[in-house]
Amino acid sequence: MALQHTLERHTVRTLMKLPGSALGRLAGLVEKVDRGRLDPRLRLLLALGDGRKGFHQLPLPKGRAFYAQMIDMLDVGHEAVAQVSDLCVPVVGGDILVRLYRPVAAPIPAPAIVYFHGGGFTIGSAVEYDRLCRYLANRTGAVILNVDYRLAPEHVAPTAADDVVAAWRWILSQADKLGLDVQRLAVMGDSAGGNLSIVTAQQAALEGLAKPKLVVAVYPKTDGETNFESAVTLGAGEGGLDRDMIAWFHQQYLPDDSLLDDIRISPLRNPDLQGQPETILVTATDPLRDEGLAYGERLKAAGVTVVNLDYPELVHGFITMGGAIPAARKAVNAICRQIRERL
């Protein structure tokens, strides 16, 4: 299996170096659905995966391993930073890992980004996001705190939400010791992690904690249900993430629908968004697009500043594709510039 993955990774990386025009023509020969609006390298990559079982169609350990392999295949390379520290953070019922990355020349106290990985609350970990967090640290100049919250189905809702709020509370209490500037803290995440970044900011307000200065929500899940138009129009699998996979993630994390109205699950349903932090909302050609945009509109109506970065040529998951897809890396760099300007 390791040899097969190595060969696949080499093949994909080699193909992605070909001219985009050639890759677009090649994609047109093999893709089973129309993806003409997407980046040509991404089109070919998705076409090569057509017919392959998704994370949700495999036994859970294999699905988690497959997710790790895909990130290894596509993500940016390993970069050096000045310091990496593994911190043990207490949560209800145990401890979680928070991995800290301090870039070279970061001031003390330093701005910091608390990062929550994606994966439908079911797959993914701080380990898979190690290279992305190093990359973010070096591009933003901020300390990154990579939170390894507990996953479903071993830990169902609202465990992930409670874990990240506990991590936020702990980071605030340890900010001086960690050399962090509490006036320049951000929360950031993609997909499920985008949900958790929003939840952290909302719960901080409810609990009277210091709120983040900035929220960065990358194609976030903002509602426990998936009944938005984009879930229908973009949820057939042409962009990788499909309705069946979303439903499977939902079943793992939220087996009891009585929690749908809980704003730790559905932050879009929070009736009071006044005073929420400035938010960078990142969208793509993605089944979750409309619920992300709906949250942005709710924030604007509450008087919150929202910066929407839209990448229609990319799909859900692009934040960990920057090593193979130049358009994804360009988008991540643009996000980093926006963060740096605001922290």
Residue 306 CA from chain centroid, whole number: 18
Which residues face 307 on adjacent strands?
280
Q: What whole-number distance in Å separates Cα of residue 56 and Cα of residue 64?
A: 9
Helix ranges restricted to H, the chain = 2-15, 20-30, 40-49, 60-74, 130-140, 159-173, 175-178, 192-207, 229-233, 243-253, 289-301, 326-342
Q: Is 181 a catalytic residue?
A: no
- DSSP secondary structure string for all residues of 277-338: PEEEEEEEESTTHHHHHHHHHHHHHTT--EEEEEEEEEETTGGG-TTT-HHHHHHHHHHHHH
SS3 at position 262 = coil
Residue in 56, 155, 250, 316 annotated catalytic: 316
Q: What whole-number distance in Å separates Cα of residue 216 and Cα of residue 181?
A: 18
Determine contact, residues 186/227, Cβ cutoff 8 Å.
Answer: no
Residue in 117, 191, 230, 290 annotated catalytic: 191
Residue in 223, 242, 286, 290 annotated catalytic: 286
Owner of token pair 């076409």 = 47
Q: Kindly provide the residue ranges of all beta strands, DSSP E only, lying in 67-153, ordered along the sequence.
A: 83-91, 94-102, 110-116, 143-148
Q: Is 316 a catalytic residue?
A: yes
Q: Is 173 a catalytic residue?
A: no
Residues classed as catalytic: 191, 286, 316
